[in-house]
A and B are shown apart, each in its own frame.
Chain A
């Protein structure tokens, strides 16, 4: 028996999933709280036509064990900051976290897209999590840093990539 709908639907799903939209976004936009998560930032275009030459990502509070994925042609930099209240983790106490990761010095033309990845352990509480991103294109800068708020009535043109932390699956 031939399933008439299932095959096209699967193909559609497969093709739809990697589609980027006009903003810098996260590839997967939900994950269980407290889980290890691979954040993939998709950069679909440059800054008003100019080629992307740098990407800076600010890590949200509560994200620990952050490890960026190096990219050939880009210089990776990690900014760490001490924690005011150390966190107890599986393998000891964490006193310092990664606050910012940047990939600089590459060149991503406006007509091409690329992905930048980070691995991390997500915070334990469910909710929304945002990763403000600064996209640099030589002299131009686009700040994907707007987090939705009540005081800004309409949608931002430069929203921060965000994801949803779903409640932990019961152990």
Chain B
């Protein structure tokens, strides 16, 4: 009896062998996908029912983000996405047992949003010139949108705080509408410009859906949405009745200013809890200052000097508050962005000082207005002269203000020293100036060369080429497939194809090596129909 039982057991194992292993057919998000937002659930679909023994969602810090859970079975494994998944790179690593009892493991990689921060991979792309063009176009567009947004919301602030009578003024309304319209166009254009810069597409890319989508997935996309909302409110205020106009102006200004706190490397720098309010305060003051200038001009050009004197007195009172706020916010921003005195001599530092000089000039003009010209307005004998002088200094302030905005937009397109500092820091940790990791492994007649740049957790570029050992001649295989795993971090193999380059090397670039540690890279180079060169290489990733 026992013997028959044994037979049964043996057979149940034997039948195991007759099955194929389970294979992952599809996943959501798909392997290698870049998605705009965290999906509601993570799905793995296999060719047969499997039991999941391990499932880990590893973020770029190596933390598993999935809650402990009961093993589940089925052909499709579906788990809820954990709450609060930040933008970034994730690896979903699984180990399953198929019906035949054979365990298989694998990993898929995906990315939520575009990752903001220092470019980890120094990808020596030939598109550098194109990239520069996109960055420049982005900076110009940003300058236009900054100017228009500040003018439109500043106009609203002026009406709200300084001279409510202007709310009904046609010229003031028209100006606001015009600025809001140009601003809206510029901020919308920022989306494909950002997308094109990210994807490195050509000019035709601007009208492609993919480019817009790529831009929309970034913080620029969110900022555009919020700002557009604000601009619509400001535009509506131009047509609104007396009762609702104040709400529309205030709401629109708030939304436009909030938009500044969403994107840009100041708003996205750590600590964000400090940086976001600081950036918003900075934008609010800038809007108030620059946006007030055109309505001030209008006031001086069209009103009696008594009214003008009243307006400028009220403006001066608010300006004192604004300048204090500006100094505090500016100091905090500069402190974080520079991260130390050594960053002052960088291109970012130079633009910063140019901007600072221009702001000082504006402050000087404002001081002249406040203490010299404004008091003269009420002295009858000098009122006429003072008013015309005021017109001149305010116009000068406006011109310098535009220069300040241009400098700010340029700063936005320049990497702040804090990023270089962070990069230098991680460079030091790699013990020496050598970039990346290179190695040669032999297998039979062939030697396989592998180059990993920068071999730091994050985006990496892998380059491979083959050589015949005896002749030291390059051999160009038909294809090279890679299989990347990090057993130490519990990352099962990620399977990746490589791209054949013009020089006969094969490359793969991507965020797969997103964790530090020893990565095991299995290289399969198909040299002929029936011959594959297999080598296993351990790559230390810092």
Contact = CB atoms under 8 A, between A and B. Distances in A.
Contact of A132 (B14, B18, B530): B530
Interface stretch (B5-13, B55-63, B387-395): B5-13
B14 A19 contact: yes
A24 to B, nearest CB: 11
Given A45-B20, A151-B536, A22 B444 contact: no
A153 B536 contact: yes
> Which of A16, A132, A151 has the most chain B CB atoms closer than 10 A to its own CB?
A151
Contact of A134 (B21, B522, B524, B529): B529
Contacts of A48: 23, 25, 47
A15 interface: yes
A154 B485 CA distance: 12
Given A19-B15, A45-B20, A132-B531, A151 B7 contact: no
B440 to A, nearest CB: 11
B21 A12 contact: no
Contacts of B499: none
Contacts of B3: 4-5, 7-9
Interface string A126-151: 00000010100000000101100101
Contacts of B182: none
A19 B526 contact: no
Contacts of B306: none
Nearest to A11: B7
A21 interface: yes
A27 B526 CA distance: 27
Given A12-B10, A22-B102, A58-B530, A151 B535 contact: yes
B67 interface: no
Contacts of A134: 529-530
Residue with the greatest number of chain A CB neighbours at <10 A, chosen from B7, B17, B443, B524: B7
B18 A143 contact: no
A75 interface: no
A12 B6 CA distance: 9
A8 B7 contact: yes
Which among B47, B522, B534 has the greatest number of chain A C-beta atoms within 10 A? Answer: B534
Contacts of A45: 20
Contact of A22 (B4, B10, B21): B21
B236 to A, nearest CB: 57
B441 A151 contact: yes
B10 A143 contact: no
Interface residues of B, number: 32
Contact of B14 (A4, A16, A22, A156): A16
B522 A152 contact: yes
A145 B17 contact: no
A72 interface: no
A44 interface: yes
A19 B18 contact: yes
A152 B19 contact: no
B430 interface: no
A15 B15 CA distance: 9
Contact of A149 (B100, B102, B444): B444
Contacts of B14: 12, 15-16, 19
A152 B7 contact: no
A8 to B, nearest CB: 4
Contact of B532 (A16, A145, A154): A145
Contacts of B524: 146
Interface string B372-398: 000000000000000000000000000
A106 B102 CA distance: 29
B10 A49 contact: no
B442 interface: yes
B17 A19 contact: yes
A20 interface: yes
Contacts of B47: 48-49
26 contacts: A5-B3, A8-B4, A11-B7, A12-B6, A12-B14, A15-B14, A19-B17, A20-B17, A21-B18, A22-B20, A44-B18, A45-B20, A48-B23, A48-B25, A49-B47, A110-B20, A132-B530, A134-B530, A143-B532, A145-B532, A149-B443, A151-B443, A151-B534, A152-B522, A153-B536, A154-B522
Q: Which 9 A-B pairs have the closest CB atoms?
A: A45-B20, A151-B443, A152-B534, A132-B530, A153-B536, A8-B7, A21-B17, A58-B530, A8-B3
Interface of A: 4-5, 7-9, 11-12, 15-16, 19-22, 44-45, 48-49, 56, 58, 100, 110, 113, 132, 134, 143, 145-146, 149, 151-154, 156
